[in-house]
Amino acid sequence: MQQTTFIPASCSILTISDTRNLNTDKSGKLIQTFLEKAGHQVISRVVVADDATLIAKKMEELVADNPFCLITNGGTGIAKRDVTYEALFSTIHQEIPGFGELFRMLSYEDVGSRAMVSRAFAGFTENGLLIFALPGSTNACRLAMESLIIPELPHLVAEREK
């Protein structure tokens, strides 16, 4: 395996929740801690209600800051209010299907068959923004950050630099 030079990613964090705010957003804080500890830059962290129009609008605002990566948490389940997938998946131009597959596989080890209802996904928009859509559970975010995102983010940055 060829070692690449570490290039820090600029990231935004979008928490999607009807009940959390910046002070009570444990998952967003956890994601920020993981990113910063790994040497990446968090340029914004915001909370938005679980509403497709508001999610899309907030994403557009965050994209104006030109992050390489947007990590969302919340709204990826199957409850009627869970609309992250509907709001954001249509923006994906180049999906990374292995992310969702591996995330559900790893989640299965923790939560059993409930893992199948997760609609977590990752991919690049047409403009090159990398999106990771995670569940709102702090344990799920920890799993995704530790096992998938932090180990792979430097490689994704390097691949897009080519």
Instruction: Spell out the domains of the chain, with CATH numbers in brackets.
Output: 10-63+83-161 (3.40.980.10)
pLDDT digits (tens, 9 = 90+) for 90-139: 999 999 999 999 999 999 999 999 999 999 999 999 999 999 999 999 99
Decide: helix, strand or coil at residue 111.
helix
**Which one, of 58, 59, 120, 54, lies nearest residue 85 by Cα?**
120
Question: Average model confidence (pLDDT) for the chain?
Answer: 95
The dihedrals phi and psi of 94, each to the nearest 5 degrees, come to -135, 100
In angstroms, the first-to-last Cα distance of the chain is: 17
Centre a 10 Å sphere on the Cβ of residue 37 and count the other Cβ atoms it contains.
10
Q: What is the pLDDT of residue 3?
A: 55
Q: What pTM did the predictor assign?
A: 0.95
CA dihedral 81, 86, 15, 98 (to 10 degrees): 120
